[in-house]
Amino acid sequence: MSKYKRLDRELLLKGNIIDYYQDTIEIEGGRLTKFDFIKHRGASAMVLVDQDGKILLVRQHRNAIDRDTLEIPAGGLNSGEDNLTCAIRECEEETGYVAGEVHHLIDIYTTVAFCNEKIGIYYAKALTSSKQNLDEDEFVTIERFSLEEIVEMIMKGDIQDAKTISGILAYKTKMGL
């Protein structure tokens, strides 16, 4: 039985990607406390493997950490969109490749302490060339690496993005590599 009971959830800020709330929680013994909560619409990501066995990563700037990162392609769910459709759409938008033979890898919650963001992660090996379709504020380059190179970058701390680490290690495990 939970020792926490939410009594109230107050919307403090409605954003484009997230909504910020403050929850009033009753904890065991009747004491009240406040928790921050960020509501996220969800997202999807894709591990893309080309015909040479290389994995495509996208390099892009991330404002929250004020630096460029290497990541698997990913993006937020549009209204009414399911995770698989989102993963395929984001893959094409960011990389210029249409993913075929898509398989589910894993679902992750990114930051369970204060956010409900859940990312469905997939992989695809059959890629068909298309074209990038980036938002006007997106600047993304595509880089290809072997699985071993990516795992090494993860272990050295060069890749710290949770969805990328989860997706790559789930792919490695699922494929028995």
pLDDT digits over 125-148, tens only? 989 888 877 778 778 899 999 999
Q: How confident is the model at residue 1 (pLDDT cuts 50, 70, 90)?
A: low
CB 9 within 8 A of CB 23: yes
Share of the chain above pLDDT 90, in %: 82
| Residues taking part in catalysis | 136
Decide if 91 contacts 128 (C-beta within 8 A).
Answer: no
CA distance 143 to 56: 6
Contact call for residues 163 and 110 (beta carbons, < 8 A): yes
Q: How confident is the model at residue 78 (pLDDT cuts 50, 70, 90)?
A: very high
Q: What structural domains and CATH numbers belong to the chain?
A: 4-39 (no CATH), 41-174 (3.90.79.10)
Whether the pLDDT of residue 177 is over 90: the answer is: no
H helix runs in 13-137, sequence order: 83-95
DSSP 8-state class, residue 115: B
